[in-house]
Chain A
Amino acid sequence: MLKYGYGGRILRIDLTEHRSQIEELDPSWIKPVIGGRAANTKRLYEALNPDCNPLGPDNILIFGIGPLTGSLLPASAYYTVTAKSPLTGILGDSAAGGQFAAEMKLTGFDQIIITGKADNLLYLMITESGVEFVECPEYAGKTIIETTKAIRKKRKDYSIQVASIGPAGENLVLFASIVSSGNRVNGRTGMGAVMGSKNLKALAVRGSRSLEVADPLAFLSEVEKINKVILDHKEYQKRYQMGTTMLMQDLNNIGILPTKHFQEGICKYVDDISGQKLARTYKVKNKSCFNCNVHCSRYYIAEGCEAEGPEFETLCSFTSRIGNRDLPFALEMNAYLNQMGLDSISTAEVIGWIMECQEKGLVHPDDLDGFSITWGDRDKIREVVDKITFRRGIGDRLANGAKKLSESFSEEAKKLVMQVKGLDMICGDPRGIKAYGLTYAIASRGSDHLRAEPYFELTNRKKEAKKRFGTEKAADRLAEEGKAALVYYSEKIALLTDSLTMCKNIGLCMDILNFEKASVLLKTGTGIDYSAEYLEKILGDSINLDFMLNRRFGVTKEDDTLPERFQKEPLSEGPTKGSTVNIQKMVDEYYKIHKWEK
């Protein structure tokens, strides 16, 4: 029996039959995966038919949290949603912070496993005693906040936390998101569409079971140490003021801020759209995830709209990436996308790809029902985002994502989709951050930085690099040497943060978490022995499992690559001028370290 840290139970829900089952979480099953993302992947690996239709009843949707989720450990309130992705056809998952995970912990369920498809739109009310199926046809078309507010009001309990889809998820936009705590987004890989395909509008959680740790005083003392490191961290003030939006200026300074759909790495008007500008002009207060002392999120009011956020990815996606210099417009888009339940990165990729292709004459307006758009055209962006959300007109094709959209166009146009394995690339030009480039190429959910977040390469710690990764070059962002080793290490720490759970901005970027620290936290938190060596081993095993699962979905080594642009076209100006990525070499080295090839 799992007494400490874990809730110790899993909840299986069959939407077709409106049936559910509560099971004990087997300690020997969970130990080698810890929890969170790694546990979700293992569950998917064991139970999913890899050939299933991602939008069919056989797809398995899993909400998972970890042993330390919702504990006193700062920034520990993350949950991961996992399923086969309708956007990419391979492993899909996405994590979010906010308040949902901590409340889910109090229900005593470490995993909620959802299969089948409901006849009518419903939401699930999950408490410690199980699940209630609540049909809610009246919530169709409602935004995230409307849904959240309606459920709380109806049930007369404002501590209920809700993870919901918006209209985009209901309309099966392939990159629809799930949003909780009003503006906390499980954005990537279209988990919102999977929910929509099951006629599942929302999960509402409200628990009353207490979270206990094995050795409260020892755990508290570890937490106090971590709190101190966070508060004394040299980036604390910056992160407190701007959160991830600090990266607008930081990436521009090194010439890798995606501008005009990755054609440029320097944005001339960055001061108009930066995190500094946002904090100075529109921020009204800081916001925070459960039990975090960085409080890096922000609430803003800008002209007619207000919302929480945006994070860097959304800000960059709706400013420089698509040639928009109007910050309030980007803030309006952030609020709209969050409430409609659309992933900002994939939405911006569709728009940016059309913009570039039309500029180059590769996509004619006639091929898009007469739709044409140029850089930063706000009215057209508004119009197209709305069409995508409701799959109206041309939006119906755009809602399948940039890669699928590009398939009816020329080879040249196809190459301009900034994606790996069907997932649209995040904002950070890999030509100037090579370890990130490798991460995009090998990430098991498609182009993504969070699988490793090798922030280390930006910290300029040469001595440390030599010691940890065998070469000083590992700390040189433009070098390719040592990057496979850096990614090989970082991806384990990234998986560790996703499994404990903890926020990567703190666990990884602020370099708080390592195997030794996690070993102590797990021992004092769960009472289960995890040596640092054992942790390193099981995290490696879990990464192998990701790899094997994707092989079942048909992924091959050829898919571990980057768009041609980054391999062949150097940037024309700035501190990253002239650099391209020799991705094949890094991938080969990475495979060698993993022993994935003979």
Chain B
Amino acid sequence: MIRVDINKCTGCKKCESVCAFFHTGRINNRISRVKVTNLYEIGIDGPVMCIQCEERYCLCCPVDALSIGPLGQVIVSPTLCTLCDACEKACPIGAIEKFKDFVYVCDLCGGYPRCVEACTEGAITYEAGSKKFPSLVTIKKETNKMNPSQKRYFFLNKLCSEIRKKWRRVHA
């Protein structure tokens, strides 16, 4: 599975542009499956993408357009999907989002994630065949009413609290 170390992220968004480019030949953060948020007020940047959570909230899809592939990735069927937003609402961290006529979520690039390759900082890593998946139960409760952008913002704020504490301990 994909792991992100936001301690190492500089906010360059290379992962974001490379993802969109690899999948579509174009650049646009809306069609990227990994989305970087820059938290200018606290110096934190971080990519958010599907982390293949234990709960798989997105599978609540009412028309079963979503399924889990052999790598653990989410697969969206464009023919079944009715763009109803159920998955987008269900995901606790804003990792799946509709734009125009498609739903964008990390597909692990078929086991060879381009974002991992693109990141010169080693902030994104991939471990194939991992069986341990993180739980998002606690986050889920807190982000229920948010839109995907707000969820990503909230999630990053949660993730960085330890890093911020360490920074301040060492430097302030």
Q: Which of A's residues lie within 8 Å of B, judged by CB?
A: 70-72, 99, 102-103, 106, 145, 148-149, 156-159, 181-183, 207-212, 216, 220, 231, 281-282, 284-293, 295, 297, 299-304, 306-308
Contact = CB atoms under 8 A, between A and B. Distances in A.
A282 B171 CA distance: 6
22 contacts: A72-B17, A99-B11, A149-B41, A181-B38, A210-B20, A210-B24, A210-B28, A211-B26, A211-B27, A212-B25, A231-B120, A284-B43, A284-B170, A285-B7, A285-B8, A285-B43, A286-B121, A288-B10, A290-B17, A299-B43, A300-B171, A301-B167
A458 B27 CA distance: 37
A330 to B, nearest CB: 15
A212 B26 contact: yes
B18 interface: yes
Nearest to B37: A158
Interface string B32-49: 000101111101010000
Given A210-B24, A211-B28, A290-B12, A145 B171 contact: no
Contacts of B35: 159
A158 B153 contact: yes
A301 B149 contact: no
Contacts of B77: none
A289 B12 contact: yes
Contacts of B28: 106, 207-211
A233 to B, nearest CB: 13
Given A284-B170, A302-B171, 19 more contacts: A72-B18, A102-B13, A149-B40, A149-B41, A158-B37, A158-B153, A159-B149, A182-B41, A208-B99, A209-B28, A210-B24, A211-B26, A231-B120, A284-B43, A284-B167, A285-B8, A290-B17, A291-B14, A295-B10
B155 to A, nearest CB: 11
Nearest to A304: B172
B57 interface: no
B13 A291 contact: yes
A291 B149 CA distance: 21
Given A159-B37, A183-B40, A210 B171 contact: no
Say whether chain B's binding surface is mostly helix, strand, loop, or mixed: mixed
B126 interface: no
A291 B12 contact: yes
A239 to B, nearest CB: 13
The residue in A149, A212, A231 that gathers the most chain B C-beta atoms within 10 A of its C-beta is A212
Given A288-B12, A293-B12, A158 B150 contact: yes
Given A210-B24, A290-B12, A284 B152 contact: no
Contact of B12 (A149, A183, A231, A295): A295
Contacts of A300: 171
B147 interface: yes
B108 interface: no
Interface residues of B, number: 40
Interface in B75-106: 99
B144 interface: no
Contacts of B27: 70-72, 210-212
B11 A210 contact: no
B29 A287 contact: no
Contacts of A159: 29, 35, 37, 149
B86 to A, nearest CB: 20
A308 B171 contact: no
B163 to A, nearest CB: 9
B40 A182 contact: yes
A145 B153 contact: no
Nearest to B121: A295
Nearest to B20: A210
A301 B171 contact: yes
Given A71-B27, A284-B167, A304-B172, A291 B17 contact: yes
A297 B6 CA distance: 16
Contact of B21 (A207, A216, A303): A216
A148 to B, nearest CB: 6
B38 A99 contact: yes
A303 B172 CA distance: 4
Nearest to A184: B40
A71 B7 CA distance: 26
A103 to B, nearest CB: 8
Interface in B143-160: 147, 149-150, 152-153
A185 to B, nearest CB: 13
Contacts of B31: 210
A373 B16 CA distance: 50
B3 interface: no
B168 interface: yes
Contacts of A288: 10-12
B43 A287 contact: yes
Nearest to A227: B120
Contacts of A287: 10-11, 43, 45
B40 A181 contact: yes
Contacts of B172: 301, 303-304
B147 A156 contact: yes
A162 to B, nearest CB: 9
B3 to A, nearest CB: 18
B145 to A, nearest CB: 11
Nearest to A284: B167
